[in-house]
Amino acid sequence: MARLAVLGATGRTGQEIVRRALDAGHEVTALVRRPEALPVRDASLTVVVGDARDAEVIAAVSEGRDAVIASLGRPESGRTKDQIDDSQPVDVCEVSTRHLLEAAGRGLRRIVLMSTHGAGSSNDGSPYVVKLRDMVGNRVVDKDRMEQVLLEAETDVVWTVIRNPYIYEGPLGTPHAVHEKIVLDETSRITYADLATFAIGEALRPQYPNTFLTITEPLTGSAS
């Protein structure tokens, strides 16, 4: 049994991570802003209400944990630019990562950060990325800055950044692969189940330490 903390536990990906970690027998501390938005109850689940931008909160939920998985960011409210309000700057990913690195200096040794394909070095100018950043530019800029914080950090913590494409409801075990560099297109996708399971695996038994990676099912379009 491992002791995990999950930041952003009320988001759809965060909820899946919490559920699957509990199902696997792990002890989970979930950081949330609104506890009523986390429809999971378990004897091995501790829910902490707080802001991931608060250094004291991050220190508290990280203490004694074997790893922290951060699935943070303002959720999208639609599938088109007209449906999504991306008018406000976002900084929760950047700020919380700085606090996690501070917690690493007090004993935390493993973090997994959920990013998005199109952030950081995966901002490749492809049609997929251009469209994504046009729709949710402020959200992606927060991921850019989060990734840059890691690049600039002098730390002993072992980290992995997982960049996802479109996430959908589907079965665990749908064929997929991990790439350090890939050009995605609009057929790119991954199930919540596979994404969450991969994140938990990286938190417990890292196969890609200190790596930025993209996880996706095989592309059916022209990109490769």
Name the residue ranges covered by the structural domains of the chain: 3-216
Query: Residue 74 has what pLDDT?
Result: 62
**3-class secondary structure, 154:** coil
Query: Residue 184 has what pLDDT?
Result: 97
Query: Residue 224 has what pLDDT?
Result: 42
Give 117's DSSP letter: B
Query: Residue 107 has what pLDDT?
Result: 87
Mean pLDDT by 10 residues, the chain (224 residues): 96 97 98 95 97 97 96 68 65 97 90 98 97 89 97 94 97 97 96 98 97 95 49
What is the spatial distance between Cα 78 and Cα 76, in angstroms, rounded to a whole number? 6
- CB-count exposure of residue 155 (10 Å: 0-12, 13-18, 19+): middle
Q: Which residues of 82-93 are buried (b: 16+ CB within 10 A; e: fewer)?
A: eebebeeebebb
What is the spatial distance between Cα 23 and Cα 28, in angstroms, rounded to a whole number? 11
**Could you give the C-alpha distances from 4 to 127, 181, 209, 213, 223, in angstroms and in order?**
37, 28, 17, 21, 36
Query: Residue 223 has what pLDDT?
Result: 44
**Could you give the C-alpha distances from 70 to 3, 31, 78, 182, 187, in angstroms and in order?**
14, 9, 22, 23, 26
Query: Residue 80 has what pLDDT?
Result: 58
Query: Residue 90 has what pLDDT?
Result: 87
- CB-count exposure of residue 28 (10 Å: 0-12, 13-18, 19+): buried
CATH 3.40.50.720 fits 3-216, yes or no: yes
